[in-house]
Amino acid sequence: MKKIITFGASNSKESINSTLATFVARQIEDIKYEVLDLNDFEMPIYSIDREKSSGIPTLATVFKEKIKEADGIVISFAEHNGIFSSAYKNIYDWVSRIDQNVWDNKPMFLLATSPGQRGGSSVLNFASTMYKYANTNTVISFSLPSFYENFDVNKGIKDDSLSTQFQQQLTLFTQALKTEKEVII
């Protein structure tokens, strides 16, 4: 059985991005999934000086092992000032020191949502572009605008047009998980 890891790229206990990432994992049939909480991977702020003096934190290695064990990755990005949250960026910086191929070329479903109409589109565009160059496997993306108007924890995505777009992207990600080969999008 395939396994994915999923997480909201935020350290907020009330993260709507964690909610969306978990929702996505629950939509995929015949897989196991593990929901990660970035608060479980809190490390000192990355610096080359700290790395030289103390080495790479054990939590960075644990996070990298979670990636290696997975067949696919679902991340929903919180947008902080147009870019990644500090909590996510710090984990990414540490893990990239273990292996520059952070995501091990696993299929990825990248998402973003926010209370606003842009749905975290700035961070999602940045992440999609960055990871499509850094990952030779499939990288799918979807932005959900106006989270509180367009999402219900029991029903999922309420807007028909957005739900259709989401289902199309989810299908591509699911195909990539099953084939373990790149899906042309």
Whole-number pLDDT of residue 183: 44
Buried b (16+ CB within 10 A) or exposed e, 144-173: bbbbeebbeeeebbeeeebeeebeebbebb
Give the strands of the sheet with 108-113, arranged side by side.
31-35, 2-9, 72-77, 108-113, 139-144
Whole-number pLDDT of residue 15: 96
Report residue 139: phi and psi, to 5°. Answer: -125, 110
Contact assessment for residue 69 and residue 76, using Cβ atoms and an 8 Å cutoff: no
Instruction: Please state, for a pLDDT cut of 90, what percent of the chain lies above it.
Output: 89
Whole-number pLDDT of residue 132: 87
Q: What pTM was computed for the model? A: 0.93
pLDDT tens digits along 1-47: 999 999 999 999 999 999 999 999 999 999 999 999 999 999 999 99
Whole-number pLDDT of residue 134: 82
pLDDT tens digits along 42-52: 999 999 999 99
Q: How far apart are CA 85 and CA 89, in angstroms?
A: 6
Of 165, 90, 83, 87, give the one whose Cα is nearest residue 127: 83
Q: How far apart are CA 25 and CA 156, in angstroms?
A: 12
CA 149 from chain center: how many Å? 22
Whether pLDDT at 181 is above 90: no
- Extended beta strands in the chain, E state: 2-9, 31-35, 72-77, 108-113, 139-144, 151-152, 156-157
Whole-number pLDDT of residue 30: 93
Q: How far apart are CA 127 and CA 86, in angstroms?
A: 14
Whole-number pLDDT of residue 39: 97
pLDDT tens digits along 69-112: 999 999 999 999 889 999 999 999 999 999 999 999 999 999 99
Whether pLDDT at 64 is above 70: yes
Q: Could you identify the residue written with the tokens 């103390």?
A: 54
Q: Which fold has domain 2-179?
A: Rossmann fold (3.40.50)
Whether pLDDT at 182 is above 60: no
Instruction: Please state, for a pLDDT cut of 70, what percent of the chain lies above it.
Output: 97
Strand partners, 3: 32
pLDDT category of residue 180 using cuts at 50, 70 and 90: low
SS3 of 138-173: the string is CEEEEEECCHHHHEECCCEECCHHHHHHHHHHHHHH
